[in-house]
Structure 1
Amino acid sequence: MLQKKNRWQHCSVLANHAVLALILLVINSSSQVSAAVVTSIRPLGFIAAAIAEGVMPTEVQVLLPDGASPHDYALRPSDLQRLHDADLVVWVGVEMEAFLGKPLMKVATGKQIAIAPLAKIAGLLMAGSQHDQSTDDHQHHDHQTDDPPTNDQHHHHHGDYDMHVWLSPKIARLAAITIHDNLLELMPQKKDKLDANLRRFEDKLAQSEKNIASMLKPIRGKGYFVFHDAYGYFEKQFGLTPLGHFTVNPAIPPGARRLHQIKTQLIEREAVCIFAEPQFKPAVINAIAKDTNVRTGELDPLGNGIKLSRDSYMRFLSQLSKQYVSCLE
């Protein structure tokens, strides 16, 4: 009888210890604040990964898979779940990723960063290209102001302002600062690491800009066409001289008049190269260059295949620069 009582007491003690251990585990885990960062496109993931490196237990996640276009991507149920679970969502804005407009209405404003409408960035936005007349019949103009976009204006046409802001190293730096500040609010205990990551990103970016300027200097003044009007920020900063683009909206093919204009310039040997993109490889590019001496190349504005790391944004800029040089040099 005494042995049974002792065994019961022993089991009771073990059970109490197990409950206590579970309580301590819950308390400990709740005190360790972590954050999950989700970005719409890979280049924003490059920037976020540089700031979050060594800070979070989970890697930065990117919604858009390689080969997809932010202009017309359709979210999957798993994407919606990632948005719901994220502590911070980073995107350009509804003018670029229209597919995120409605889903992000369900995400608290404090848990998302729309880069383009930020006050410190809106003033740096370049005007979008004028539409080719042949495509105007297919597009609806619903914005008639010259003011930069804000968080309260969700109906801009993609052509009003150039929303490819990740191709501007200057804007990328401001985006990094904003991501740093938001993560610092989530994890103040990680301040030293976040500060160090931001300083490193800024230093590496400044050095990368110098290297790219030197790399691209020999091809300044050489004319070329791009399929999709996406590179204005990059071209302006580094002094490149595009002759034009096939289309503003890659979902809409260029009209006959536009193709004739491009063909005329190619025949007159004003262009050295025509650039396609990994996600847009229209047959019209090869067809229009067929009877000319113009080379065809490829520009990747989204950094497909580049793994997210603290230096991936710099690798992205370097890769894009080499793509220009390989066709124009």
Structure 2
Amino acid sequence: MNKLLLAVGVSALSPLAFSKPMIVTSISPVSMIVAAISGDRAEIQQIVSSTASPHDFALRPSDLRKINNADTVVWVGESLERFLEKPLENAGKEESSIEWLALKGVELHNFGEDGHDDHGHDDHEGHDDHEGHDDHEGHDDHEGHDDHDHDHDHEEHDDHDHEEHDDHDHEEHDDHDREELTGHEGHNHDGVDPHVWLAPENALILAQAVTMRLVYLDSDNASYYKGNLAKFEKGLEATDAEIRKSLSKVKTVPYIVFHDGYTYFEEHYGLNHVGEITVSPERKPGAKKVAELRHEIEEHNVQCVFSEPQFSPAIVKSLLDGSNVKTAPLDPLGGDIKLNQDAYFTFLNTLSGQFLKCLG
């Protein structure tokens, strides 16, 4: 009889006692940093396919289920993933989410006239340059995303909410930790360049926030998560130093990017970006812009025009028709990188290698 009661007790407790925290992420670079800290102790479910772009993404019902079942949603912010705003609000996940753009200490840039204006957290208002992201609102059509095929339904997590972790004795820290982690202070991020994952210093800040959240959700593995954060910080420092040394050889070589989304990386490593085909990927350049770009290529002796794998290279080929300027893909999302604890380092190395290959 006692054995039967014990078995029933273990069975009843198992969804809570043995399930891993479920972290839902928006895009690949976010998943990379979460994976660096979580290792094999948490489950990661990514919403935007690694081969898709967040700039024109629309959620599907399976994505909404992921959000509803998540212990925490980690995303960049509304200026990149506007499609997540309403679902997070409807699911009551706003306060428990980690919004990268709103984290304290994150270095932010605004889209300025030259795409390289540097501003702090308090100067994000009144910038209408980046209106193209307004297209993310009202996406009710969930078709056309055949490449988004990783629909891992996890109904077993339906009851796996933060309330179930009260036995971790973190009640007195809940409000404070939540404010520190999510940074939901009403920041207006209109006009902000959201590609924060391209700056190593910003990656570390997200890693710290993810560590705090996982320690809160899964205190039994607190030392594991903190140890992974220490490894990440050490690895990030070494990777950054190596990339800085290698890219110093091509710092003065002029180039044009497909869209103005590399400012964080370029300014961190001092690269010579002289133009972009478009500010927002969803906007195709007109004939006037193409003529201006051809003039810039000639005027600045541009050595390379980068395309992106998430978008058709046809415009780049058309732009360079009849010229000897090199072209190469530059992937700001790391779509081909396998997700593991070293994925973010691999991403940075791969991106720097793509620059070197075309500029060297």
Band the TM-score falls in, shorter-chain normalisation:
0.7 to 0.9
1:117 is aligned, of 86, 102, 124, to 102
Q: Percent identity?
A: 36
Unaligned runs of 5+ residues in structure 2 are 116-127, 135-182
User: Shift of the alpha carbon at 1:302?
Assistant: 0.4
- State the TM-score, normalizing by the size of structure 2: 0.77
Contact 1:129/1:248, CA 8 A, preserved across alignment: no
C-alpha RMSD of the superposition: 2.4
User: Shift of the alpha carbon at 1:236?
Assistant: 0.4
Partner of 1:21: 7
Contact 1:95/1:154, CA 8 A, preserved across alignment: no
1:224 is aligned, of 229, 247, 255, to 255
Partner of 1:53: 39
Letter in 1 for 2:41: V
1:249 paired to 2:290: no
Counterpart Cα distance in 2 of 1:75 and 1:131: 32
Counterpart Cα distance in 2 of 1:252 and 1:287: 16
Output aligned runs, 1:20-39, within 5 Å: 20-27=6-13, 29-32=15-18, 34-39=20-25
Q: 1:194 to 1:248 in 2, by over 3 A?
A: same
1:62 paired to 2:46: yes
Partner of 1:88: 72
* Other structure's SS at 2:109 match: coil
Contact 1:267/1:292, CA 8 A, preserved across alignment: no
Counterpart Cα distance in 2 of 1:140 and 1:318: 29
Rg comparison, structure with higher value: 1
Unaligned runs of 5+ residues in structure 1 are 1-12, 142-149
Q: Deviations over 1:5-38 (max 9, x none)?
A: xxxxxxxx6xx74454122332355344630111
Contact 2:95/2:184, CA 8 A, preserved across alignment: no
Q: 1:53 to 1:250 in 2, by over 3 A?
A: same
User: Shift of the alpha carbon at 1:191?
Assistant: 1.3
1:182 paired to 2:222: no
Output aligned runs, 1:1-329, within 5 Å: 17-27=3-13, 29-32=15-18, 34-56=20-42, 58=43, 60-105=44-89, 106-121=91-106, 124-130=107-113, 151=184, 153=186, 156-157=189-190, 160-268=191-299, 270-329=301-360
Q: Deviations over 1:160-204 (max 9, x none)?
A: 111100111000000000000111111112111011000000000
Counterpart Cα distance in 2 of 1:295 and 1:49: 35
User: Shift of the alpha carbon at 1:78?
Assistant: 1.0
Contact 1:129/1:229, CA 8 A, preserved across alignment: no
Q: 1:140 to 1:290 in 2, by over 3 A?
A: closer
Letter in 2 for 1:22: V
Contact 2:303/2:359, CA 8 A, preserved across alignment: yes
Letter in 2 for 1:194: Y
Aligned length: 299
